[in-house]
Structure 1
Amino acid sequence: MTTPRSDTRQGFRPQTAADSIGARLRERLLEGGFLPGESISIRRVSEAEGISVIPARDALRGLVAEGALQFRDARTIFVPPLDAATLGEIRHARLAIEGELAHRAFPWLAPQAARLAAIDAEVTTALRARDVPAYMRSNHALHFAIYEPAGAPVLLALAELLWLRFAPGMRIVCDAFDGQPPRADHHVGAIEALRAGDRDGFRRAIEADIAQGMDMLLDHATRTPDGGVANEGET
């Protein structure tokens, strides 16, 4: 058995104002703070942060480069809409990439079972409270606590990009649960498989959890008149 590798690809570089703003915007995306199709004005970001337009623009352009945002025009950036075709691609990629991360991480996760169960309890609490940001934070924390020990920095980076892409639509999933945890709680199933030493069962539970959330988004996209998850507002 090899030891999980740490990711030392980037090395040290000074933190800039654009980096700090980009990190906060990334957190908002991951927490469902922006909706698919929502416009994000560079000027409004600079005003909200109390900084000049240049670092705000650079931060947003960084997220455009990652694929989390897109340009609408020279001054306005928006969250990409989530249509059924896009969601289908994300679903396929998540199952392949995150399933493999869970499989690779499994040998190092047994000592973390209690910690994972505690994070999952936060997910359940947030669902019952209909607290979308808390649900998104805790759900992301649980999945990446599972994936990070895999020692696969390329796969991990791809998983992060996928989460940035679909996370704005996850408010729909939280609302669909209507304050009740899902009947088939695949987080619990994954932790049970982990404690039982069932590596294949663990991967299947993680993949079932991914499919459950993505299928809710797909169902919504196919039932909406425009065929997707979108919002035309501006931030």
Structure 2
Amino acid sequence: MRDAVRRLVAEGALCFIDSRTIEVPKLSLANHRDVLFARMQLEPEAGKRAFGQLTQTDLEQLIAYDMAVNEAIAMNDVNAYMRSNFAFHFHIYRKADAPVLLRLIEILWLQSGPSMRFIAGQYGAQTVTVDHHKEATDALTRRDRESFVSALREDIAQGMEFIRNAELPELPK
């Protein structure tokens, strides 16, 4: 257990307050900008690399994940929303067959995920009304890689903007 906690601290997902207290760090504006920049570089690249590997079966699974995301939003089920959104994205990223890229993306999600979960929990899953999963699956259906990657990029930006607006409202945009 200690090794797992130390690893999460090293990856920025947790921080030690003192020798007995651990907390999830609040995403500062500076960290938010860095995480957004890194995600906007790495995740579209993973999507681009995965695109040619995604099959009809993968498309059907991505559509199912997107439907689960939409259902979770409609039911205001934050946990189901978070699980389904994660499953959608990481199904794509795993197909990139780029383990270093995948590990870096996982670390970024560890850093931004708690803020997203906290905010969605405070405001409800229904506040997360826009995603770009349908645009991504439609582009995959058309075999339009550029539109697929663009939809992923827009989805990442929208999610990070949601965190920024909810958690950092006093800071200038």
Give the alignment's TM-score, normalised by structure 2. 0.90
The alignment partner of 1:72 has SS state of strand
The CA deviation at 1:116 is 0.5
Aligned length: 168
2:66 to 97, 120, 127: 120
Q: How does 1:183-198 map to 2 (within 5 A)?
A: 185-198=131-144
* Residue 68 (structure 1) aligned with residue 5 (structure 2): no
- Higher helix fraction (1 or 2): 2
**Residue in structure 1 matched with residue 26 of structure 2 by the alignment:** 81
Distance 2:6 2:25 in 1: 14
The CA deviation at 1:181 is 3.3
Distance 2:128 2:47 in 1: 26
Distance 1:211 1:144 in 2: 17
Distance 1:127 1:207 in 2: 21
The alignment partner of 1:205 has SS state of helix
Distance 1:136 1:124 in 2: 11
The alignment partner of 2:13 has SS state of coil
**Residue in structure 2 matched with residue 141 of structure 1 by the alignment:** 87
* Residue 130 (structure 1) aligned with residue 55 (structure 2): no
Q: CA RMSD in A?
A: 1.8
> Is the 2:29–2:168 Cα contact (8 Å) retained in structure 1?
yes
**Residue in structure 2 matched with residue 105 of structure 1 by the alignment:** 50
The alignment partner of 1:108 has SS state of coil
**Residue in structure 1 matched with residue 151 of structure 2 by the alignment:** 205
**Residue in structure 2 matched with residue 168 of structure 1 by the alignment:** 114
User: Which is higher, the Rg of structure 1 or of structure 2?
Assistant: 1
Distance 2:15 2:114 in 1: 14
Distance 1:109 1:197 in 2: 10
The CA deviation at 1:180 is 7.0
Q: Which amino acid aligns with 2:141?
A: R
Distance 1:89 1:180 in 2: 22
Q: How does 1:217-232 map to 2 (within 5 A)?
A: 217-224=163-170
Q: Which amino acid aligns with 1:139?
A: N
Distance 2:129 2:25 in 1: 28
Report % sequence identity.
46
> Is the 2:139–2:145 Cα contact (8 Å) retained in structure 1?
yes
- Structure 2 stretches of 5 or more lacking a match? none
**Residue in structure 1 matched with residue 126 of structure 2 by the alignment:** 178
The alignment partner of 1:223 has SS state of coil
Give the alignment's TM-score, normalised by structure 1. 0.67
Q: Which amino acid aligns with 1:67?
A: G
> Is the 1:128–1:179 Cα contact (8 Å) retained in structure 2?
no
